[in-house]
Structure 1
């Protein structure tokens, strides 16, 4: 078991709680977990370690919203997402830990900018042509960000909102999207040496926290001020990204 210190384990515990709730109640909050993992663990190892916890939380999200997914939207996204993931694999194969750490920080800042832009977005995806263009742009960016940093949440949320999904369609489509993509990433990250025995031990310790927070997520979501929470998530993610840049 790695000696991460009290603060290190506390940060990972908070990240595990965030992962569960981000999947079942508060989409987009997962960027905080990405920042915390990358701050405590080596950058590449953090990507592999957090992935297995995300998959665990995906199970609860799919079970909760399994009947509400728009599979046509998922098929439309698939080609671009594959291209983005392949680009991410190529980047990880030739990059060292320091560069990956910087890129994770940059991606976090990018997704925060996208999140803020989403709030002010007025245009929506309309017509088959626009759907294809939007699927190409967001799918490619989402594939790359999820492969390199597990940080595609805000990117894909913007696409799903622009597609004018209902709340249940949004949650169901996002649940299936991330479940499929995250499972597909496992063999590549194993091959790149990013899923390690040490990471598996850390996951075993943190898994109960993910399960508890995933089960409690919807209850908590109905009792927390969404605006305050979103602002807190943005502030913490920016702080985490800046820390990764200067550390």
Structure 2
């Protein structure tokens, strides 16, 4: 696979790897760009497996960077909803075709984003940390992660609505997805999604991921809270629209 990649393909993969690193330490949502670029160069399964390994590398940088900033109480409270969502997502995958899955998830996430933004504009902040909020967002995060690897937009909206500071947002999100990706790893290996030849591509791209993740860490420390919230919202909407348009 390495020898069959053109210089242009390597450029696209390098840009995608840089997006993965930045997304984990500064700008959640940029991962969508990486998914699009890798899918344009590699076969579907190879693309998914290659990205998963790079995500884990970036996750480790993120959890090291924000090891003191994660809100573990929030993560623990989301567990029941996430597990419920994973079970529902598994059942949905068993009966729904790929195209319907992508469109359904994309539309569902856009509705969630719209509702969240409306709630955030109310005089009193939304109580998403309550039982109902945790159940709704946790279940949707588990469902979308299991059925379409699209849990990022749900978590982004949940943390924004919870009024998390930049570092707390990134730390909590980093640990959530690190745990989720570790759980996915053995299943991906068993299903042949992660292949030996893809690991050679990962080996070449790991330095790019590390460099961009470290650069993202510096960017996050200088970012204004309002600007961060706007960027996350825009990237989250773009993620959903990408998911829908690629399925149509």
Trace 1:39-54 onto structure 2 (pairs within 5 A).
39-54=40-55
How far did residue 183 of structure 1 move? 0.8
How far did residue 234 of structure 1 move? 6.6
Give structure 2 stretches of 5+ with no counterpart.
none
1:202 paired to 2:201: yes
Give structure 1 stretches of 5+ with no counterpart.
none
Partner of 2:164: 165
Partner of 1:245: 247
CA distance in 2, matches of 1:189, 1:61: 22
CA distance in 2, matches of 1:38, 1:92: 21
How far did residue 111 of structure 1 move? 4.3
The SS at the match of 1:212 is: helix
How far did residue 65 of structure 1 move? 1.1
Partner of 1:138: 137
Q: Residue 119 of structure 2 contacts residue 126 of structure 2 at CA under 8 Å; is this kept in 1?
A: no
Partner of 1:75: 76
CA distance in 2, matches of 1:212, 1:112: 32
Partner of 1:151: 150
Q: Residue 29 of structure 1 contacts residue 233 of structure 1 at CA under 8 Å; is this kept in 2?
A: yes
How far did residue 74 of structure 1 move? 0.7
How far did residue 61 of structure 1 move? 1.0
Change (3 A) 1:76 1:93: same
TM-score (norm 2): 0.78
How far did residue 40 of structure 1 move? 3.1
The Cα offsets for residues 192-241 of structure 1, whole Å up to 9 and x where unpaired, read as 22222233222222211111100111334548976996698479657754
Equivalences, count: 241
How far did residue 168 of structure 1 move? 2.7
Partner of 1:189: 188
Partner of 2:127: 126
CA distance in 2, matches of 1:43, 1:18: 19
Moved more, 156-165 or 130-139: 130-139
Q: Residue 35 of structure 1 contacts residue 241 of structure 1 at CA under 8 Å; is this kept in 2?
A: no
Change (3 A) 1:159 1:11: same
Q: Residue 34 of structure 1 contacts residue 150 of structure 1 at CA under 8 Å; is this kept in 2?
A: no
Moved more, 183-192 or 43-52: 43-52
Q: Residue 23 of structure 1 contacts residue 61 of structure 1 at CA under 8 Å; is this kept in 2?
A: yes
CA distance in 2, matches of 1:29, 1:82: 26
Moved more, 103-112 or 40-49: 103-112
